[in-house]
Amino acid sequence: MRGFLGRATLAAVLLLTPLAPTPVAAVTPAAAVTGVTPVAGVPPVAGAAAVTPAATVPRQPGAESAEPSGVAADWTPPLSTRGRWIVDAKGNRFKLRSGNWHGASGTWNGSGDTEDDANHHAGENSGRVPLGLDRAPMAEIISGFQEIGINSIRLPFSNEMIHDDRPVTDRAVAANPSLRGKTPLQVYDAVVRGLTDAGLAVILNNHTNTTRWCCGVDGNERWNAGQSTGAWENDWLFMARRYRDDKRVVGADLYNEVRRNVWDDPNWGLGDDHDWFAASQHVADRILMEADPDLLIIVEGINWTGIPVDGFAHGRPTLEPVRRLSHTLVDSGKLVYSAHFYDYTGPNHSGATGLGETSDPRYRDLSPAELTDVVNRQALYVAAEQDQHFTAPVWISEFGVGGREETGAAPRAWFENFVDLLVRADADFAYWPLVGWHEDRKGNGWALLHWDSAGHRMGVYDGDDWRAGAWSRLVQAQGRTGPVAPVANWSMLSPDHGDFVASRRMRALPDWNPGARKAVCPDGQRLLGVSHTGNRGLCTDVSTGPLANPAGVHEVVTDERHVAPGQDWASGYTKLQCAEGQFLTGYSVRGSAVSAALCTAAPAGALGTSGRTVWFDRGDNRGVSPQGGDFAYGRYKGQCANDEYLAGIAYTGRVGSSGTPDALYCRKLS
């Protein structure tokens, strides 16, 4: 067959093809070092003393360290979300102007002596710690971040790093002698403390399973590529608990660039061992419930699926699947989605050259209008479309380009256009990478700040880096600031393959319908919509805010006990109806059939009694301009109005019917 590759050939292609690798850049000559010009309004920090690691990781609850001179933190942790915005504890917008400080997750390319720099990405051997600690005191590196306008750091780690008890080499921390003899995790602790003491926010990023360079067919393609899902979850609980007393550790970035290995693709919602949606949903709830309820949970889209050969299905799904299946966490206001974009990759291009390269356009081949359309479709729509089940902040947590020696017109134009796109969207971002090496102003030019072996710094604002203007536009862009008003929450329930209980309260109670798959709204929300088939539901707190009675009284309804005589709202159908003063917050299913309704008591006087029947067994019936979005794509759906609550579900057990929901009983809120 034309275009067919046998297994051996396919394996060779995939093993030799980097799937969206973090970039290798050209080396760079330039003029003399003149220092870094500070961004307007962000004064430089004096001093560059070595940072001494804390004796213990946790900070006492409520304790805050003194801020460095001239760098007053203008935000109050913890962070949460309101619609598409990230906000601080006072409700003020906190825009993630971030950078990636890589190295702790590894720079080794996977072959050869790990001590030989030549076997590390771009010749930069991090020594299993954040790059640059061999060349500059930690305080100097951190002050450099602040000088170029950074307020937050994505800090990669590997699962191997957590368990690595080998002390780092003296060489790896030569400019920070107090870190000698420490394990990689202890150095990571010190870096976290140094960053947060300086007022910066830290996002923990599980970058790889093993401590090596990412991201090809390298054994790190999935969260469970080289370990069990259970081990991965336990590592996350360990890390979240380790830093939970440091409130400037604000986020858990669950896994980096989930992608295909030689034989298998990841997926979004199939319920198997490669289901990234299910895995991220599960570990997110565990982190919030068992480790640290204050953390933002950051879920990156799928980076690559398919075979990168013309004629075979392949592409970069990123966040497109979120439109049809979005996360609902046990705590509303904690979910952030993320995506990565580089000029040499594309919506259907792996970024490879030579073997594995396809004829698909790269992002740099697109016009500004085409680039905007593609990035919106792949990622930014999640933040742009309000009042949807998927609405959330989107963090572009990796993007970057070569610096001084990047002479290509296409990469340069792409970077300028992409920065302008981020500015127009007022998007949260994280540049890759912040720190690099140079010798005689030559080296891996992608970083914004470089240090040579003598400790001399070369920065983006030295006057010879073409990226300086675009970077200034980005970090100084006039976006939304100040208070963000609370918004209505819209949440999808998807008990597709098992329980989908998003209520902390119900999780703490015994199983209310053993043997059935249960779906429950987050605490404070009410069920407003249900699909005819597919078992999906829609929750919200629109028009009311939190509605449940603080006492948390609930009832499981499996029959028509609360249908009053003469008030048959679905004649001939079985009706699961809540009692007066109760509203639906969940349901259970057996197979495709509805089996029970979960009814929760409302405060006295909150619920009205007049109602109407909404039929949806033969078509959608969601009203005019319904909010919440399509929560069951391709299925018939019923939905109450925003000023109503759901009081009952009707179905039929007639021959030929599968017992799926056919009608809703919608009543007015009081």
Q: 121-165: per-residue pLDDT in tens?
A: 999 999 999 999 999 999 999 999 999 999 999 999 999 999 999
Q: What gap in Å lies between CA 83 and CA 525, rounded to an integer?
A: 15
Q: Which amino acid is at 17?
A: T
pLDDT for the residue 655:
79
pLDDT for the residue 408:
95
The answer for 112, left when phi > 0, alpha when psi is -120 to 50, beta otherwise, is left
Strand partners, 439: 442
- Count the residues in the chain: 670
User: Residue 64 has which token pair?
Assistant: 């805050």
pLDDT bin (cut points 50, 70, 90) of residue 64 is very low
How confident is the model over 346-369, as pLDDT tens digits?
999 999 888 889 999 999 999 999
pLDDT for the residue 444:
82
Burial class (CB in 10 A: 0-12, 13-18, 19+), 110: middle
Q: Has residue 217 got a pLDDT over 90?
A: no
Find the helix packing angle between 184-197 and 138-147, rounded to 10°. 40
pLDDT bin (cut points 50, 70, 90) of residue 6 is very low
Strand partners, 92: 483
pLDDT for the residue 650:
98
- Sheet containing 554-557, strands listed edge to edge, beginning at the edge strand earlier in sequence: 500-501, 517-520, 582-590, 593-601, 554-557
Q: What gap in Å lies between CA 172 and CA 220, rounded to an integer?
A: 24
Cβ burial 568-591 (10 Å sphere, 16+ → b, else e): ebbeebbbbbbeebbbbbbbbbee
pLDDT for the residue 438:
95
Q: Has residue 204 got a pLDDT over 70?
A: yes
pLDDT for the residue 214:
87
Q: What Å distances lie between residue 18 and 5, 164, 360, CA to CA?
A: 18, 27, 16
User: Residue 558 has which token pair?
Assistant: 């499996």
Q: Has residue 20 got a pLDDT over 60?
A: no
CB-CB neighbours of 273 under 10 Å: 14
Coil/strand/helix, residue 381 = helix
How confident is the model over 300-320, as pLDDT tens digits?
999 999 999 999 999 999 999
Q: Which amino acid is at 476?
A: Q
Q: Has residue 41 got a pLDDT over 90?
A: no
* Cβ neighbours for 571, distance < 8 A, ≥ 6 positions apart: none
Closest CA to 356 of 260, 267, 446: 260
Q: Has residue 36 got a pLDDT over 70?
A: no
Q: What Å distances lie between residue 240 and 57, 233, 571, CA to CA?
A: 12, 11, 53
Pairing state between β 457-459 and 449-451: antiparallel
Q: What Å distances lie between residue 326 and 267, 280, 446, CA to CA?
A: 13, 11, 34
Q: What gap in Å lies between CA 206 and CA 227, rounded to an integer?
A: 13
DSSP 192-221: HHHHHHTT-EEEEEEEESSSS--SSSSS-S
User: Three-class SS string for 63-94?
Assistant: CCCCCCCCCCCCCCCCCEEECCEEECCCCEEC
Mean pLDDT of the chain: 89
DSSP state of 129: S
Q: Has residue 602 got a pLDDT over 50?
A: yes
Strand partners, 646: 666
Cβ burial 15-31 (10 Å sphere, 16+ → b, else e): eebbbbbbbebbbbebe
User: Residue 63 has which token pair?
Assistant: 């304790």
User: Three-class SS string for 553-581?
Assistant: CEEEECCCCCCCCCCCCCCCCEEEECCCC
Q: What gap in Å lies between CA 9 and CA 594, rounded to an integer?
A: 48
Coil/strand/helix, residue 539 = strand
Q: Has residue 243 got a pLDDT over 90?
A: yes
How confident is the model over 564-591, as pLDDT tens digits?
998 999 999 999 999 999 999 999 999 9
How confident is the model over 535-549, as pLDDT tens digits?
999 999 999 988 876
Q: What gap in Å lies between CA 500 and CA 492, rounded to an integer?
A: 10
Please state the separation of Cα 21 from the chain's center in Å: 19
Q: Has residue 631 got a pLDDT over 90?
A: yes
User: Residue 2 has which token pair?
Assistant: 């034309």
pLDDT for the residue 73:
65
Above pLDDT 70, what percent of the chain?
89
User: Residue 393 has which token pair?
Assistant: 């902040």
Closest CA to 524 of 546, 551, 542: 546
For the chain, list the domains and their CATH numbers: 80-476 (3.20.20.80), 490-669 (no CATH)
pLDDT for the residue 46:
30
CB 408 within 8 A of CB 109: no
Q: Has residue 321 got a pLDDT over 80?
A: yes
Sign of the torsion angle spanned by Cα atoms 556, 560, 566, 569: positive
Which of 40-49, 499-508, 654-663 has the least mean pLDDT?
A: 40-49
Which residue in the block uniquely carries the two structure tokens 């990636």?
Answer: 100
* Cβ neighbours for 263, distance < 8 A, ≥ 6 positions apart: none
